[in-house]
């Protein structure tokens, strides 16, 4: 009896784990202990450590690549051979992490620590947890003799957070054959815990298009003691005010329609009611107005353009000769960047203010929510967390999934790691993941990949 009880307590404290869980925990610890922030230039050490584990587990050298555009920022790609009846599946996670300063944290960010039911350290959520699960699960498939229908490829990459060495882009350009797949899974969707309850398992299926525009007013200038009637700063300020008042039309796509429908069902209050309404009636004006007042839902609903930089003038006592502003747009995947530019010109409506694009938009289609894929995610979610809905989302920011979607590989961001909505520490201090969420996520990814490749 005592022994039995002891066993239960030990399991809760993380001391008595299944072999697969122990392996994932060991890998996570190993990865967190390597500082892979851009400034440390040490991603290769993490890739090499994973390559060694794979070789020790019996993966042939020929199926393991450690390579990249810089000796310090190498990526790891490993291929687990399937029966070749289906296209390969690609499992992606990034090894690099956001910078972390010891002085900002209450703990050492680059030392893995288990405390009070959490794993602490930079990367425990973003994105070393998923990297550790991909490797641990791949080793487990091999140990179990599982033969997937198509090859399973794991790519652990560099440069997602910052720096010049984006591994996914590099692989797409230089070694497409290593990563070519019919389907990719990546970070970008987590589970949500609200008031202690698991409320949703999110799947990121598309993202907005990043596009920047410059507004520029010029003027001959002169002495500020003799102001002219026209003034570059005033003209630019007027143009920016008009941009700030402009709202692009609200539009739904299949991903956001399902997002609003299902998110509306798990929430309470005005916003949730508006979500349910708009999912049925995309042009309902009251629902659009309510959702537009919320920064996040507004960004899900429409293309947005916002001023992010401003520069003008060259001396305290001179009339400004140039005034420029950068306006950063996040465009719905269905909208055309050229049309957004044309709209901005119309809104600015001043021949003295030039409006020009400064970034080349990269357009990646939304990944389709096919019944086959969604059912696999829903069944797996239901097995582990009965009743928790799967909710597709569109990222308002940009992720590595874009580079894969661009070349025609449908990519879905998911993890099954449930995190408290009010305690998101990604990119922040004392980053942590609940121990139970980590192991549940590992199980979810293990079952899902198996289901998708059986
Ligand atoms: Zn990340």
CA distance 314 to 254: 49
pLDDT score of 349: 97
Q: What is the mean pLDDT of residues 379-407?
A: 95
| Averaged pLDDT of the chain | 95
Q: What is the mean pLDDT of residues 59-70?
A: 98
The whole-model pTM stands at: 0.91
Q: How many helices (H) and strands (E) does the chain have?
A: 15, 19
313-334 per-position pLDDT tens digit = 999 999 999 999 999 999 999 9
89 close to 152: Cβ distance less than 8 angstroms: yes
| Percentage of the chain exceeding pLDDT 90 | 93
CA 8 to centroid of ligand 1, rounded, Å: 34
CA 37 to centroid of ligand 1, rounded, Å: 12
Fill in the DSSP letter of residue 147: -
The SS3 assignment for 170 reads helix
- 447 upstream amide cis, omega within 30 of 0: no
CA 260 to centroid of ligand 1, rounded, Å: 24
**How open is the CA angle 448-193-429, to the nearest 5 degrees?**
100
CA 209 to centroid of ligand 1, rounded, Å: 18
CA 243 to centroid of ligand 1, rounded, Å: 32
CA 85 to centroid of ligand 1, rounded, Å: 32
CA 82 to centroid of ligand 1, rounded, Å: 28
CA 367 to centroid of ligand 1, rounded, Å: 19
Both tokens assigned to 356: 């020009």
CA 160 to centroid of ligand 1, rounded, Å: 7
- Please give the C-alpha separations between residue 427 and each of 126, 157, 421, in angstroms, as whole numbers: 8, 18, 15
pLDDT score of 6: 44
For residue 218, pLDDT beyond 80: yes
CA 138 to centroid of ligand 1, rounded, Å: 21
Q: Name beta bridge partners: 153.
A: 79, 90
CA distance 302 to 253: 10
Q: What is the mean pLDDT of residues 423-443?
A: 95
Q: How many other β-carbons are positioned within 10 Å of the β-carbon of residue 440?
A: 18
CA 123 to centroid of ligand 1, rounded, Å: 8
126 close to 40: Cβ distance less than 8 angstroms: no
361-370 per-position pLDDT tens digit = 998 889 999 9
CA 307 to centroid of ligand 1, rounded, Å: 26
List domains and CATH numbers for the chain. 18-205+366-452 (3.40.630.10), 207-357 (3.30.70.360)
């Amino acid at each position: 009896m005592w022994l039995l009880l002891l066993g239960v307590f030990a399991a809760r404290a993380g001391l008595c784990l299944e072999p697969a869980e122990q392996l994932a925990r060991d890998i996570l610890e190993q990865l967190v202990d390597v500082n892979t922030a851009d400034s440390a230039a040490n991603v290769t050490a993490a890739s090499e450590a994973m390559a060694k584990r794979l070789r020790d587990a019996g993966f042939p050298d020929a199926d393991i690549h450690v390579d990249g555009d810089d000796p310090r920022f190498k990526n790891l790609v490993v291929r687990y051979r399937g029966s070749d009846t289906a296209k390969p599946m690609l499992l992606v996670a990034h090894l690099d992490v956001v910078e972390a300063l010891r002085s900002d944290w209450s703990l050492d960010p680059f030392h893995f620590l288990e405390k009070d039911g959490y794993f602490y350290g930079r990367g425990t959520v973003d994105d070393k947890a998923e990297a550790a699960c991909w490797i641990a699960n791949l080793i487990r498939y091999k140990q179990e003799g599982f033969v997937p229908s198509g090859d399973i490829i794991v790519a652990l990459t560099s440069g997602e957070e910052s720096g010049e060495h984006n591994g996914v882009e590099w692989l797409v350009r230089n070694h497409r054959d290593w990563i070519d797949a019919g389907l990719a899974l990546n970070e970008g969707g987590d589970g949500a815990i609200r008031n202690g309850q698991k409320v949703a398992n999110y799947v990121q299926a598309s993202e907005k298009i990043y596009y920047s525009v410059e507004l520029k007013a010029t003027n001959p200038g002169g002495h500020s003691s003799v102001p002219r009637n026209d003034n570059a700063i005033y003209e630019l300020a007027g143009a920016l005010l008009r941009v700030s008042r402009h709202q692009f039309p609200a539009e739904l796509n299949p991903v956001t329609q399902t997002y609003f429908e299902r998110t509306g069902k798990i929430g309470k209050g005005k916003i949730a009611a508006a979500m349910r309404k708009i999912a049925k009636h995309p042009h309902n004006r009251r629902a659009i107005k309510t959702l537009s007042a919320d920064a996040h839902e507004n960004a899900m609903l429409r293309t947005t353009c916002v001023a992010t930089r401003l520069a003008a003038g060259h001396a305290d006592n001179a009339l400004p000769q140039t005034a420029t502003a950068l306006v950063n747009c996040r465009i719905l995947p269905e909208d055309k960047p050229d049309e957004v530019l044309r709209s901005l010109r119309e809104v600015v409506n001043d021949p003295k203010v030039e409006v020009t694009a400064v970034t080349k938009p990269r357009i990646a289609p939304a990944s389709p929510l096919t019944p086959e894929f969604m059912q696999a995610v829903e069944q797996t979610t239901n097995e582990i967390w009965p009743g928790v809905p799967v909710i597709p989302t569109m990222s308002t920011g940009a992720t590595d999934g874009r580079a894969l979607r661009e070349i025609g590989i449908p990519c879905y961001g998911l993890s099954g790691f449930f995190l408290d909505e009010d305690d998101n520490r990604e990119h922040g201090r004392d980053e942590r993941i609940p121990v139970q969420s980590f192991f549940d996520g590992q199980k979810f990814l293990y079952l899902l990949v198996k289901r998708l490749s059986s």
